[in-house]
Structure 1
Amino acid sequence: MSEQQFSRGPAMRDVAAAAGVSAQTVSRVLNDHPNVQESTRRRVLAVVEDLGYRRNNTARALVTGRSKTIGVLTLATNNYSRSSLALGVELGAREAGYTVNSVTSSLSVQGLTDAVSRLVFQGVDGIIIAAPLQDAAEQIGKITARIPTVNTDGSSNMGDGKVGVDQDIAAVMATKHLLELGHKTVWHVAGPAEWSDAASRLTSWRRTLKEAGCEVPPELHGDWSPESGYQNGLILGRMPEVTAILVASDEMAFGVLRALNELGRRVPEDVSVVGIDDIDLAAFSNPPLTTIRQSFEDTGRRAVQRLVAQIAHPELARTPDLVAPTLVVRASTAPPPAAA
């Protein structure tokens, strides 16, 4: 066949002619139809590779009713957890034979509902919601009522389809670690109140202190950024009674560490600090950060697996899929100073 014939790109009929089969047979091979002889399948796939044929996903969607595309809603942020989760989704989708169509949004109800509506309009086969829904959960639930949806944030109205890490266990592990070192109580720099993960950690921190008979100090809130951790660290570092701090993310914990250092409060000799996430930089902070490990990339992959299963079998029960995190002890925690 001449180069001129393929200036438009090879079509399915070109593959059929080169392989000596019908276009219907080529279609069956490309869609993994079982009623195709193995020798024919291999011959067709060899021609597909040789000619560089690419399937027309729009045409396939018209025939199968599926676009082989996953929609992902994330926040417009450069936060480490969001980028790591997105990588896991991308890798999981590729392994499952899907492409990813991502949209970002602000935390406003209008922004979230508009973003999800765009994904539905674009004909994705299913949606992964990786953003806190706040007051938008009910509206988004209506929009996605007829499309498979998985939630990695765990907002209460959509918690039955959640895939993620058990944040209750994360906060309990961190708080108990500090108490078992001998600290009388644990202060907490929490995440934004509108994030369900942050709210879950806050509730579990309080409960763990109460169950241990410890005083529950007032929590402080950050916005996940190192700057917000730094500002809260300047407050806590000026309070001599503070000997242990649980910070709701590693990135905020880095800010706390810097603030304590500037105030002359040694870590861990004067103050112990625990983060949550175990991002790559945690092992290289000064001192190396004790933290709760949770794999965002793994969460992204598992979210894709759950979603693909729902796409294939809509009748599947939608139960939460939560895994336990692990405590990684490094040099930022120690028993409290004797004077405390």
Structure 2
Amino acid sequence: MTRSQGRTGGSGAPRSVDVARLAGVSQKTVSRVFNNEAYVSADVRRRVLEAAGELGYRPNNAARALASGRTRTIGVVALGTALYGPASLLIGIERAARTTGYALRVVNTLEGDPGGIAGAVDSLLEQGVDGIIISEPIDEEATGGAITVATDVPVLVLGAPAASTTARTVTTAVGADLLARAATTHLLDLGHATVHHLAGPQRWYAARDRLEGWRSALAARGSDEPPVVEGDWSASSGYVAGRKLAADDDVTAVFAANDDMAIGLIRALTEAGRRVPEDVSVIGFDDIPVAAYVNPPLTTVRQPFDAVAQEGLRLLVHAIEKPDIEVPLAHDPPVDLILRASTAPPPSRAVSKRRRRTAASSRGGQQAPSASSENLSARP
């Protein structure tokens, strides 16, 4: 006898009425639980889920779609890349979607395709999705930073300005500016007069946000704003920037827009005789898995991918299921500063110059290898 036979008295799959009977609730309550509706107590929700688990019950999504007029699917427009940030956010969206009862359909865009977002949105609308998430990190449209879409379903835009002709556009920040400000403030709190910035490519919304967070932190302290050095997210670009920054005795602290560039930067500083953190403090961004194991272990700020995805899905589902009720305000994502060994108070100028002379003498004038000879990975 199968589990469903033992409870339902037949050979068919268990139904919502069987779950209701076992849990001691109405069939409507079972429906409310599986639709994630409000006004269900925690105890009742637990009893329904336990009964469903015991019976092996799964909701019939096709029937629910016919009854509600919804497909219970959400479309995602995302850059087709294995780079750390975009890939981690997509994973966070998938995890968050599991708790909402909605399935995901993902359409990837290609970097350098100005019409990619519009084409991806059209493709998802043809599949009948109930809402759309745009997780597009690059400004390919030359619209001054705005993503423009035209849909008849709610749209969630993550981390970028949005201009939409849809009735409901939900925006939520990924917190890059807040994290960048925290990273810069940490270095200023250690006593550094100012902080240099190794920025990401400015066609990326995240790079722009990190640049603005750095600027706002300096402005809040009245610190001078040094010239920005721009990389391309790769460790090799961080290495090239590091060789330039190492030649400037006034550089005592650098905020890198991602961890990979920070790692390349540290390599270049070390080869130039600028010790980290004794002479130059370096802080990264992302907290990639290897950040804790480089030498020295990298101080960084951790991106809250799961928290951003959960908050965004919460707002989008609200817009889908309660179209007549105003979408609540988005909560700011948490700031998680990971303190390791790559940051410290600044050295005195005399001590720093003496260390550089000693390091140069010990190298005997040997030239550092060129960036083109390095085989370094990139993963923002």
TM-score of the aligned structures, taking structure 1 as reference length? 0.79
SS at match of 1:276: coil
Q: Which residue of 2 aligns with 1:78?
A: 82
Q: Which residue of 1 aligns with 2:342?
A: 332
Percent of pairs with identical residues: 40
Shift of residue 292, structure 1, vs aligned partner: 1.6
* Pairs within 5 Å for 1:134-173: 134=139, 135=141, 141-144=148-151, 146-155=152-161, 157=163, 161-173=170-182
Structure showing greater relative contact order (alpha-carbon pairs closer than 8 Å, 6 or more residues apart): 1
Q: Which residue of 2 aligns with 1:4?
A: none
Q: Which residue of 1 aligns with 2:309?
A: 300
- Size of the aligned set, in residue pairs, is 317
Structure 2 unaligned regions, length at least 5: 1-7, 32-43, 353-380
Cα deviation per residue 1:50-74 (whole Å; 9 max; x = unaligned)? 9xx88474x6534432112121111
Query: Whose helix fraction is larger, Structure 1's or Structure 2's?
Result: 1
Give the RMSD, CA atoms, in angstroms.
3.6
Shift of residue 104, structure 1, vs aligned partner: 1.2
Give the whole-Å Cα distance in 1 for the aligned partners of 2:297 and 2:53.
Answer: 52
Q: Which residue of 2 aligns with 1:259?
A: 268
Shift of residue 75, structure 1, vs aligned partner: 1.0
2:117 counterpart of 1:112: yes
- Give, as a single letter, the amino acid of the residue that structure 1 aligns with 2:99: E
SS at match of 1:192: coil
Shift of the 156–268 alpha-carbon distance from structure 1 to 2, 3 Å rule, reads farther
Q: Which residue of 2 aligns with 1:129?
A: 134
Shift of the 35–180 alpha-carbon distance from structure 1 to 2, 3 Å rule, reads closer
- Out of 18, 28, 34, the residue aligned to residue 34 of structure 1 is 28
Shift of residue 335, structure 1, vs aligned partner: 1.4
- Give, as a single letter, the amino acid of the residue that structure 2 aligns with 1:81: G
Give the whole-Å Cα distance in 1 for the aligned partners of 2:221 and 2:29.
Answer: 64
Q: Which residue of 2 aligns with 1:178?
A: 187
SS at match of 2:285: strand
Shift of the 284–17 alpha-carbon distance from structure 1 to 2, 3 Å rule, reads same
1:131–1:152 Cα contact (<8 Å) kept = yes
SS at match of 1:252: helix
Give the whole-Å Cα distance in 2 for the aligned partners of 1:161 and 1:289.
Answer: 35
1:160–1:318 Cα contact (<8 Å) kept = no
1:73–1:104 Cα contact (<8 Å) kept = yes
Give the whole-Å Cα distance in 1 for the aligned partners of 2:13 and 2:83.
Answer: 53
Q: Which residue of 1 aligns with 2:245?
A: 236
* Pairs within 5 Å for 1:170-249: 170-249=179-258
Shift of the 213–19 alpha-carbon distance from structure 1 to 2, 3 Å rule, reads closer
Give the whole-Å Cα distance in 2 for the aligned partners of 1:127 and 1:20.
Answer: 33
Shift of residue 273, structure 1, vs aligned partner: 0.4
Give the whole-Å Cα distance in 1 for the aligned partners of 2:54 and 2:176.
Answer: 50
- Give, as a single letter, the amino acid of the residue that structure 1 aligns with 2:316: L
Shift of the 160–114 alpha-carbon distance from structure 1 to 2, 3 Å rule, reads closer
TM-score of the aligned structures, taking structure 2 as reference length? 0.71
Shift of the 56–325 alpha-carbon distance from structure 1 to 2, 3 Å rule, reads closer
SS at match of 1:161: strand
1:161–1:319 Cα contact (<8 Å) kept = no
2:70 counterpart of 1:66: yes
Give the whole-Å Cα distance in 2 for the aligned partners of 1:33 and 1:54.
Answer: 12
1:277–1:293 Cα contact (<8 Å) kept = yes
1:161–1:318 Cα contact (<8 Å) kept = no
Give the whole-Å Cα distance in 2 for the aligned partners of 1:249 and 1:24.
Answer: 49
